[in-house]
Amino acid sequence: MITAMVRKHWMELRGRWLFATAIAVLLGIFIIFEDRHAIFPKHWPMSLCLFAFILVVAFPPRFATTGVTTSIGTRPCHATDPSILFTLSLPLRRRTLLRYRAASGLFAMGTALAVALLVNAVVLESLGSAITPWQVLAYGLWILVLLVPLYFLDTLLSVWFSEATIMQVQAVAMALLVPVLLWMGLLGSTMKIMAVFHNATLVPAALAAGLIAAGLAGTTAWILDRQEY
């Protein structure tokens, strides 16, 4: 049964994984090259923040869903995929479906991010950058810390909304954040962005993200148990 679920999730996610990884790799390389022709490597954190911004918008909704619903495409405003009754007829609890699917999506998202960062680290090194593997790892972990709560937020939202709707809303929300960050003077200064990443330590941030994610996952499970189809 576990093998069948893993196989189903692999089939469900493999195309998304390839697409997301390819986009992240290409985007990273593009940013690195662009920065190199400007004042590289001084501005790299700014580029990497843009990279993170795009990942935040694009990654979690592509990988997150409840397991009761299946990621079947990007049909707008259609939360309940037609295969939902087939899924619910399986002899599994809804929480079990959620657990398997959330773990699979998180694993897929994490590995896509890892591959993208690895490729970008190799490119940076080949360009003679001073960035160390540890910095890349810390950066990757920071992105993961940002992505995990969003991933579980999107899992919760997928109870009601389609993938396309979540992506659109998330992109608009992130775009609306830009003026706020500009107003705060954050986007104008690479040093301030760096400060955001480095002043706070990673471990407390990860713990906070973990708590938020656990809360969202618990809420999703509670709602799924009461949801009617």
Partner 1 sequence: MSSKQSIIVVHDLRKRLGSIEAVAGLDFSVPAGSICGFLGRNGAGKTTTIKMLLGMMRPDSGEGSIFGELIEDEAANVRIRRRTGFVSEVKEFYPFMTVRHTIEFCRAFYPQWQMEWEKRCLKDYQLPLEQKTSKLSKGMRSKLALLLALSRGAELLVLDEPTDGLDPVAAEIFLEHAVAQAAEGRTVFFSSHQLHEVEQVCDRVCLIDQGRAVLETDLDEAKTRIRRASFTFPSTVPVALFEGIGLGRLKIRGRSASLLINGEGESFAARAQAAGATNIEFTPVNLKEIFLETVGGEK
Q: State the residues that interact with partner 1 by CB under 8 A.
A: 1, 3-4, 7-8, 11-12, 15, 70, 72-73, 81-83, 85-86, 88-94, 225, 228-229
Amino acid at 78: H
Rg (CA), the chain: 19
DSSP string, 84-151: HHHHHTSSS-HHHHHHHHHHHHHHHHHHHHHHHHHHHHHHHHHTT----HHHHHHHHHHHHHHHHHHH
Nearby residues of 3 by Cβ (< 8 Å), 6 or more positions away: none
Contact present, 92 and 37 (Cβ < 8 Å): no
Q: How far apart are CA 88 and CA 69, in angstroms?
A: 9
Nearest distance in Å: CB 122, partner 1: 32
**Residue 223 in tokens:** 């709602």
Nearest distance in Å: CB 61, partner 1: 18
| Residue 190: exposure state from Cβ atoms within 10 A (0-12, 13-18, ≥19) | middle
Nearest distance in Å: CB 184, partner 1: 43
Nearer to partner 1, 2 or 39 (CB): 2
Q: How far apart are CA 17 and CA 108, in angstroms?
A: 6
Nearest distance in Å: CB 97, partner 1: 11
Nearest distance in Å: CB 147, partner 1: 24
Nearest distance in Å: CB 81, partner 1: 8
Nearer to partner 1, 121 or 224 (CB): 224
